[in-house]
């Protein structure tokens, strides 16, 4: 099992290239001392990696100690996600980023293939293992959102890293058994979307990019009421819940703008009393937030 170096916060670049100001944001992400960067072949149709590559060129290379992690994606037209596609995906990622290797390349959202296809001869996972053996990538991971699927891949024991999103937050603990298994296997654990895709920080009406079931929305309303009662910044509490968990190596936060990037240090440092987290636990286990 190859360990991956991490920072407590990883800067999520899924939105890089979706809004104006991407060049400036890419430069800021690259220079930021807050953490490493998470991107993927298909984020913003490849523009996320391309903007990061351009920022690397502008700065004359990646700053010392900074790591950029990326992910293999299916062919967006055909849905193909076999070993050949993984190799093409890596070539595309390295080309856009202007790099010849990556510290981590993950199998991203393998929804168009079965587990058996992914693991079998000619499949995506044997290709990732071969690329790791060849030294082009330092470590391999499974990065996906359906926790049952993530658990199945984690249990193979062949991955170095797991990334799950929206399922280990102040209001959702679905990923806990999977992260516990990953820990037992010695894997590095990436917990993405600590704000549930935004709602715990910006008050958006969706959770994990989906409409909330009514009982989950009611639970979230109780959490918001507690935060207000305790005068706690819910975004700070949500971030600190993940960063402070012994199950998590790094928390991947979506950074949509310079303003959001600038706010991160104070969210990490803002005082949130332990008793507030105890009060959240006393609400009991959260209801399911979506379909898993």
Closest CA to 226 of 290, 289, 286: 286
Q: Which of 35, 46, 138, 198 binds ligand NAP (CB under 6 A)?
A: 198
Region 73-112 residues binding ligand NAP, contact defined as CB under 6 A: 108-109
Burial class (CB in 10 A: 0-12, 13-18, 19+), 239: buried
Find the shortest distance in angstroms from Cβ 257 to ligand NAP: 6
Q: Which of 35, 196, 286, 290 binds ligand NAP (CB under 6 A)?
A: 196
Gap between the Cα atoms of 251 and 229, Å rounded:
27
Region 229-248 residues binding ligand NAP, contact defined as CB under 6 A: 235
Rounded-to-10 torsion of CA 19, 24, 26, 32: -130
User: What six digits make up the tokens of 219?
Assistant: 């639970």
- Binding part of the chain for ligand NAP, among 77-85, 92-100, 174-182, 194-202 by CB under 6 A, reads 194-202
For ligand NAP, how many residues bind (rule: CB under 6 A)? Answer: 30
Find the shortest distance in angstroms from Cβ 153 to ligand NAP: 12
Q: Which of 72, 143, 170, 272 binds ligand NAP (CB under 6 A)?
A: 143
Find the shortest distance in angstroms from Cβ 167 to ligand NAP: 10
Which is nearer to ligand NAP, 131 or 238 (by Cβ)?
238
Q: Is residue 240 within 8 Å of residue 201, measured between CB atoms?
A: no
Q: Which of 86, 128, 163, 248 binds ligand NAP (CB under 6 A)?
A: 163
Q: Is residue 13 within 8 Å of residue 53, measured between CB atoms?
A: no
Q: Looking up tokens 């709602």, which residue turns up?
A: 199
Q: Is residue 179 within 8 Å of residue 189, measured between CB atoms?
A: yes
Binding flag, residue 249, ligand NAP (CB under 6 A): no
| Helical residues (DSSP H) of the chain, grouped into ranges | 22-31, 47-59, 83-97, 115-119, 124-134, 147-154, 176-184, 199-202, 214-229, 234-243, 258-269, 274-282
Region 9-68 residues binding ligand NAP, contact defined as CB under 6 A: 12-15, 38
Which is nearer to ligand NAP, 41 or 94 (by Cβ)?
41
Where does this chain bind ligand NAP (CB under 6 A)? 12-15, 38, 108-109, 143-145, 163, 165, 192-198, 201-202, 235, 252-254, 256-257, 260, 263, 267
């Amino acid at each position: 099992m190859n360990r991956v170096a991490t920072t407590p916060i990883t800067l999520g670049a899924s939105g890089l290239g979706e809004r104006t100001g991407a060049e400036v944001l890419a430069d800021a992400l690259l220079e930021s001392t807050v953490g490493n960067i998470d991107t993927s072949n298909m984020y913003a149709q490849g523009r996320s990696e391309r903007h990061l590559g351009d920022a690397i060129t502008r700065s004359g290379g990646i700053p010392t100690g900074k790591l950029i992690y990326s992910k293999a994606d299916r062919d967006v037209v055909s849905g193909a996600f076999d070993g050949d596609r993984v190799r093409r995906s890596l070539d595309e990622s390295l080309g856009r980023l202007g790099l010849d290797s990556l510290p981590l390349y993950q199998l991203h959202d393998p929804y168009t293939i079965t587990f058996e296809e992914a693991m079998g001869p000619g499949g995506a996972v044997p290709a990732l293992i071969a690329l790791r053996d060849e030294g082009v990538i330092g470590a391999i991971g499974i990065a996906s959102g359906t926790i049952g699927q993530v658990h199945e891949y984690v249990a193979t024991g062949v991955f170095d890293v797991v990334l799950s999103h929206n399922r280990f937050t102040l209001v959702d603990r679905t990923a806990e058994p999977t992260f516990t298994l990953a820990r037992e296997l010695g894997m590095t654990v990436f917990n993405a979307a600590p704000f549930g895709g935004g709602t715990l920080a910006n008050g958006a009406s969706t959770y994990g990019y989906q409409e909330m079931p009514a009982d989950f929305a009611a639970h979230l309303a109780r959490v918001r009421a507690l935060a207000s009662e305790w005068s706690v910044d819910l975004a700070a509490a949500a971030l600190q819940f993940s960063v402070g968990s012994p199950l998590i190596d790094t928390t991947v936060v979506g950074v949509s703008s310079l303003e959001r990037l600038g706010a991160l240090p104070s969210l990490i440092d803002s005082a949130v009393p332990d008793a507030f987290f105890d009060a959240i636990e006393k609400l009991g286990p959260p209801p399911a937030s979506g379909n898993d």
